[in-house]
Structure 1
Amino acid sequence: MLSPFLRSAIVLGLVSATGPLAIDMFLPSLPTIAENLGGTIAGAQLTITAYFIAFGLAQMIYGPMADVVGRKPPLIAGLTLFVLGSIGCALAPDMNWLVAARVVQALGGAAAMVIPRAIIRDMHTGTQATRLMALVMLIISVSPMLAPLAGSGIIAIAGWRTIFAILAVAAGASILITLTLQPETLKPEHRAPVRLSALMAGIRTLLRDPVFMGLTFVGGFGMASFFVFLASASFVYTGHYGLTPTGFSLAFAANAAGFFTATQLAANLGDRFGAERVVTWAVSGFLLVTLALLVLVWFGVDSFALLVAMLICANFCLGLVIPTAMVMALDDHGDIAGLASSLGGMLQMLAGGIMTMLAGPFFDGTPLPMVAAIALAAVLSFTAMRATGAARNRRRLAVAV
């Protein structure tokens, strides 16, 4: 029989995988969709960028709502909206319709990202929370490692529209799991009253907390690098290097494996060396690897094997950063965990969406613009880490005095 801890990880992981599935299963079809719907590469990339931005903004709705009415009702409502958006995508007659349906899909999928974080914070803090977050991310890791392969197979057999039909079914299954297996973790006596003044006060508290903001953007710019990769890799790998959709899926799975392998080490390394030190080391490693890759590509080294290998190393570093930074950012804000999770998630997704949008005009189908944008994200993440460290030191000195 499963322990409650492992059962929570499986349930939350399966529900949380809904949003990533909408990205990962869809990726191999981007070039095909651009061709079938008469769109451009930039138009196809907009289906990714629009999803990220809507996904981020919606988190500011679900977090406060989850603090008011409990965790389950808004989660079920969001998953239902995701089902409707997926059906809209499957029926899209043109690129504009598809982008609009992706926005609806993202507005629903955001619930499956922000609310499980708050549930984790309801149940655990510190290392235990990091451990549960890592287990949840292990479940989610099935998506980026297997979903692109499944997507490429579906394209070959039934066409890209079937991908969205399957996403609708997956979201329906998540609704059923939530209704039957996930208990409500926010007791009625701990729910916040519906007061705009309290919401704004909580937002001001978080925005004025340099540690919360710094940790949010440490993870946010790290995620932004991955978003740039998501929007560009299918065109670089298939167009520049000549991979088939299946070949792209295998290369993408290798990159994802590096990330999710590292997430499983995060808690143990945090126990041994301290979470703050782990984040410092990992962000520094992320910066060094991506800058080295940028220099090599800039000077004409055009090796697919090298590109994949160095991106695996970079994503391994991110696998240590993101779950640890998420937990550290929420640790001091347990009384408004839903709001903190949603605000942090919104800022992170907006950072990723904006960076992807800014990088889009420079994309020419070669690796250089993609690699340059990823390296820039690493520089920004490192800068946020240094600012966070300075803020934590000031806080410690103030407490000591």
Structure 2
Amino acid sequence: MSPFLRSAVVLGLLCASGPLAIDMFLPAMPAIADSLGGTIAGAQLTISAYFIAFGLAQMVYGPLADVVGRKPPLIAGLVLFLAGSVGCALAPDMNSLVAARVVQALGGAAAMVIPRAIIRDMHTGPQATRLMALVMLIISVSPMLAPLIGSGIVAISGWRAIFGVLALVSLMSIAITWLLQPETLAPERRAPVRLAALISGIKTLLRDPVFMGLTFVGAFGMASFFVFLASSSFVYTGYYGLTPTGFSLAFAANAAGFFSASQLAARLGEKYGSERVVSRAVAGFLGFTLVLLGLVWFGVDHFVLLVALLICANACLGLVIPTAMVMALDDHGDIAGLASSLGGMLQMMVGGIMTILAGPFFDGTPLPMVAAIALAAVLSFVAMRITDTARGRRAVVAA
């Protein structure tokens, strides 16, 4: 196995632990609401609370990884993820489950933000996009298989066993990090802890319209998927009458669209330019979601059509998200860990907040879910236009 492919496999397996905590959990959400005497909104809170905590934690892991190296905080985060998984398995009520999910997210964030910084340590440009795409290909096993595994576990052993499996996954991730992942940040490149430098770095990033624009392009794209995660199990099983296994298969189809397209991102970026690929894909994402909203709004309510248009929209996001992540970090290699954590925090926060805001409108039908997804697409498109304008102004100044 080549070093490039080996890195993709190791980083992909590490990054998969966080998505597994969502994807394996989804088919169990109705059962959890019934078992713990909670409401649908309470079950959705286990998703939104996870995302918000996940986002906030990234602001710790990124700078910490710039100070002490990549491996120590990665292992520490995985240990915390293990503790949260055990807490979820033992939760006696919905509030305890939400709290344990927060702990799980605080640990899982390390396995998302630090691998991004590792990729930036090793590569930039199309090579980084190619490695990111390979990592996402490996991660894609999670949304395509994890819901099926989760529904099988629920049928055999109940929903609590899902978190027992996640605890085992965290133990495996700790072993992989310890044995197979080399340290990519040499001691001479590590930055000492300086609050002034941290604040200065954050100010630099917040004042960079290209970084912020690309971050929010990805943030609203991810927010649309977060809304889908929080609502789809109830819509698919409650409104359309699917079984948990049927929901898992439909969910896998959506995930396949995203991850299949992500594998084309680097190739298309090299051929047409990353900026053009992201801009066109965001426009496609907007178009598909608005068509879907119009059809559902006017009563064209067919499950196959809903899934088909969501697959197309998510395929566009497969081109947008990995490329936008890499582009946002390209100009900030000296603070890649901080940039990765700030970008990740903002994206997760936007997704979590949008899920909470959409919650009160959810009535078990497809319309609120589709409307929130379309709104996210509109906001992503606006962010892309702002980014293009800022990039054009920067090019004029540079000339």
CA offset digits 1:21-63 (Å, max 9, x no partner) = 0000000000000000000000000000000000000000000
Matched residue, 1:306: 305
Distance 1:113 1:224 in 2: 17
- Structure 2 unaligned segments of length 5 or more: list them: none
Matched residue, 2:78: 79
Q: Tell me the SS of whatever aligns to 2:170.
A: helix
Q: Tell me the SS of whatever aligns to 2:263.
A: helix
Matched to 2:70, the amino acid is R
Distance 1:106 1:92 in 2: 16
How many correspondences in the alignment? 399
Matched residue, 1:254: 253
Matched to 1:97, the amino acid is S
The answer as to 2:369 corresponding to 1:370 is yes
Q: CA RMSD in A?
A: 0.3
CA offset digits 1:293-346 (Å, max 9, x no partner) = 000000011100000000000000000000000000000000000000000000
Matched residue, 1:243: 242
> Residues 134-153 of structure 1 correspond to what in structure 2 (within 5 A)?
134-153=133-152
Distance 1:148 1:234 in 2: 10
Distance 1:122 1:274 in 2: 22
The answer as to 2:389 corresponding to 1:390 is yes
Matched residue, 1:355: 354
The percent identity for this pair of structures is 82
> Residues 221-370 of structure 1 correspond to what in structure 2 (within 5 A)?
221-370=220-369
* TM-score relative to the length of structure 2: 1.00
Q: Tell me the SS of whatever aligns to 1:93.
A: coil
Matched to 1:352, the amino acid is G
Matched residue, 1:198: 197
1:242 deviates by 0.2
1:15 deviates by 0.3
1:187 deviates by 0.3
CA offset digits 1:132-171 (Å, max 9, x no partner) = 0000000000000000000000000011000000001001
Matched to 2:140, the amino acid is S
1:355 deviates by 0.4
Q: Tell me the SS of whatever aligns to 1:365.
A: coil
Matched to 1:179, the amino acid is W
1:349 deviates by 0.2
Distance 2:261 2:364 in 1: 30
Matched to 1:276, the amino acid is E
The answer as to 2:167 corresponding to 1:162 is no
Distance 1:166 1:315 in 2: 28
Matched residue, 1:91: 90
Distance 2:284 2:319 in 1: 10
Matched to 1:304, the amino acid is F
1:398 deviates by 0.3
Matched residue, 1:39: 38
Matched to 2:396, the amino acid is L
Distance 2:379 2:186 in 1: 39
* TM-score relative to the length of structure 1: 0.99
1:283 deviates by 0.1
Distance 1:172 1:217 in 2: 33
Matched to 1:341, the amino acid is S
Matched residue, 1:58: 57
1:115 deviates by 0.1
Distance 1:81 1:116 in 2: 17
Distance 1:393 1:302 in 2: 42
Matched to 1:379, the amino acid is V
CA offset digits 1:5-26 (Å, max 9, x no partner) = 0000000000000000000000
Distance 1:98 1:353 in 2: 17
Matched residue, 1:49: 48
> Residues 181-220 of structure 1 correspond to what in structure 2 (within 5 A)?
181-220=180-219
Matched to 2:199, the amino acid is M
Distance 2:366 2:193 in 1: 49
Distance 2:171 2:194 in 1: 32
Matched to 1:303, the amino acid is H
Distance 1:246 1:292 in 2: 28
Distance 1:269 1:25 in 2: 32
CA offset digits 1:336-372 (Å, max 9, x no partner) = 0000000000000001001000000000000000000
Distance 2:170 2:6 in 1: 19
Q: Tell me the SS of whatever aligns to 1:242.
A: coil
Distance 1:49 1:334 in 2: 31
Matched residue, 1:114: 113
1:226 deviates by 0.1
Distance 1:360 1:174 in 2: 33
1:97 deviates by 0.2
Matched to 1:358, the amino acid is L
1:189 deviates by 0.3
